[in-house]
Amino acid sequence: QSALAQPASVSASPGQSITISCTGTSGDVGGYNDVSWYQQHPGKAPKLIIYAVDTRPSGDSNRFFGSKSGNTASLTISGLRPEDEADYYCSSYRTGDTLVFGGGTKLTVL
Amino acid sequence: QVHLAESGGGVVQPGRSLRLSCTSYGFTFSQYALHWVRQAPGKGPDWVAGISYDGSIKYYGDSVRGRFTISRDNSKKTLSLQMNSLRPDDTAVYYCARDAAGYRSSRWDYWGQGTLVTVSS
């Protein structure tokens, strides 16, 4: 199954904001409100940071924001911190009882 | 505290079989759907299979359908993945993950630490 499209990398300085896009089709991102975002540090399991397009798990940082327009979902991280440096992946339900990930975006905090 | 722990990984020759297990603690196992997700070295995650809370519904990614079988034993709080006809491109860290919303969801709120499967002759 083809992955959702994400930029390979993004970088910014501490305190700045970045947005990562996740582009799919009407059969996945555009057709369902089931887009999640995961943060993964090296050697660790992915961590859920956004689900249902724009919902943060309770107690998690309010610097992470999710949104969606058409077939593209986005993750915005505000007030960047060094510990935000990680890989970020989107995921979505896809028609036909399949679940699909994005190819991943490496965030560098300069 | 919720905890998932995978086991059963190792080195296996192409064409052979391997069975992974995932044991759970800290939550009512029988109330949650579960998934297997794998991640090849240097690559992003790849969803493998999912199973409903009662085991009645199972579904698979295209790359493993017909070769892998997901199952669960709610009395033992254990999730399993039987992997047959293994190929070198099945080499990955395999994670089990809890589905917080239902079997057709990408909302996986707890993950295990992963177990490495290496398929090589």
Q: Tokens 């493998």 map to which residue?
A: B48
How far A50 CA sits from the closest chain B CA (Å)? 8
Structure tokens at A52: 């249902």
A65, A78 contact by CB (below 8 A) = yes
pLDDT 10s digits, A10-47: 999 999 999 999 999 999 999 999 999 999 999 999 99
Interchain contact, A3 vs B44, CB within 8 Å: yes
pLDDT 10s digits, B8-60: 999 999 999 999 999 999 999 999 999 999 999 999 999 999 999 999 999 99
pLDDT 10s digits, A44-97: 999 999 999 999 998 777 899 999 999 999 999 999 999 999 999 999 999 998
The verdict on A93 touching B (C-beta cutoff 8 Å) is yes
pLDDT 10s digits, B96-113: 999 998 778 899 999 999
Of A100, A103, A86, A6, the C-alpha closest to A46 is A86
Residues in A closer than 8 angstroms to B47, CB to CB, are 91, 98-101
pLDDT for B25 equals 93
The verdict on B42 touching A (C-beta cutoff 8 Å) is no
CA distance A37 to A39: 7
Q: A2: which DSSP letter?
A: P
CA distance A21 to A70: 12
Count of CB contacts below 8 A, A vs B? Answer: 66
CA distance B77 to B94: 18
CA distance A1 to B64: 11
B97, B111 contact by CB (below 8 A) = yes
Interchain contact, B45 vs A91, CB within 8 Å: yes
pLDDT 10s digits, B62-96: 999 999 999 999 999 999 999 999 999 999 999 99
CA distance B89 to B92: 8
